[in-house]
Amino acid sequence: MAADEPLVLGIETSCDETGVGIVRGTTLLADAVASSVDTHARFGGVVPEIASRAHLEAMVPTIERALKEAGVSARDLDGIAVTSGPGLAGALLVGVSAAKAYAYALGKPLYGVNHLASHICVDQLEHGPLPEPTMALLVSGGHSSLLLAPDITADVRPLGATIDDAAGEAFDKIARVLDLGFPGGPVIDRLAREGDPKAIAFPRGLTGPRDAPYDFSFSGLKTSVARWIEAKRAAGEEVPVRDVAASFQEAVVDVLTRKAVRACKDEGVDHLMIGGGVAANSRLRALAQERCERAGIRLRVPRPKLCTDNGAMVAALGAEMVARNRLPSDLELSADSSLPVTEPHVPGTAHTHAHDHDHVHEISKDNLYS
């Protein structure tokens, strides 16, 4: 870690995690998270208004905790990065507003970055600089995507995506049918280890010869699993929960890994990065490793904590923006709930950035920025 590498604070509020990370270059200094997932659990999913209010309450304490953990002052920062999209509109607004306030008060450049691109860039904190191009499989509650990134700060190309339910969403819905609670991913992963993945032949969506080679569909699988469970219950039979979990999980990860390896081969890329919340799934990691080894592809998967939503990933992409001299965002930056992945960040114009205003330090409060 060199002292001249950019020191960047990242803020992530796209869903129900208030994440604040601090990195210097590609070195993680702090990763503070305040989650509201327990509050949403009784509703069986994330409630946007509750998430937004939770972000408001957690924002300043989480930033202060990250600064303390990193052992740095806010005035030492070289930039403030924030997820400006995609995500829940209200939740994004809280993070963007906070980032703009800190950037303005401190006279630091602001970088509004893309949530999905951040999920790719976080791997730099685990395994060093990303290869160029990078092939990335992103799997989470809201997204399942195959992306080719020749330059993570400026050039991200979508190869395929989910046309209906994302993988994480399917996990949550099947967990609900099995009365396993929310979120569904961790509990299904745990139960599946004790089940037989070949017990039930659930369908693999969009794997026919005429189907889109890199797109995903999990709605048919979700319906098939739900009907199988309902039929068992209607017949008065006990549902083998562990076998259902294992067979369902296998159907999901089979398709994800098969298409990701195919994309690497077709594009001539000799490595694969997997990110997003579902990348914490143990079977996905194991099957991806197995298939990548057979195909001569190097697999890069961050540790589970860096796969779920966090501020470290936003800071990592922000630091890369600073290092490559990308144009900062304007203070007029707004949240964009549907920000396309082809826009890794939201650049502004050359004359309206926080650090261009000579008067901004006049409003700084010593007791706010220790």
**Is 155 annotated for ligand binding?**
no
**Is 140 annotated for ligand binding?**
yes
- Tokens coding 44: 């069986």
Torsion angle, alpha carbons of 104, 106, 109, 111, to 10: -70
Residue type, 347: P
**Is 139 annotated for ligand binding?**
yes
Residue 274, helix vs strand vs coil: strand
**Is 31 annotated for ligand binding?**
no
Query: What sections of the chain are H helices per DSSP?
Result: 37-41, 48-70, 89-106, 115-121, 124-127, 167-177, 184-192, 219-234, 241-267, 282-295, 304-307, 311-323
- Tokens coding 179: 């009365």
Residue type, 338: S
* Burial (Cβ within 10 Å: 0-12, 13-18, ≥19) of residue 309: buried
CA distance 15 to 174: 21
Q: Cβ atoms within 10 A of the Cβ of 47, count?
A: 17
CA distance 369 to 49: 29
**Is 115 annotated for ligand binding?**
yes
- E strand or H helix at 28, and its extent? strand 27-35
Tell the residue number behind the tokens 């469970």, with chain if given.
229
Going by DSSP bridges, is the β-strand pair 155-161/144-151 parallel, antiparallel, or unpaired?
antiparallel
**Is 281 annotated for ligand binding?**
yes
> In b/e form, how buried is each residue of 14-25, taking b as 16+ CB within 10 angstroms?
bbbbbbbbbbbb
3-state SS string over 303-363? Answer: CHHHHCCCHHHHHHHHHHHHHCCCCCECCCCCCCCCCCCCCCECCCCCCCCHHHCCCHHHH
Residue list for the binding site for substrate: 138-142, 172, 185, 189, 281
User: Residue ranges for the binding site?
Assistant: 115, 119, 138-142, 172, 185, 189, 281, 309
- Binding-site members for Fe cation are 115, 119, 309
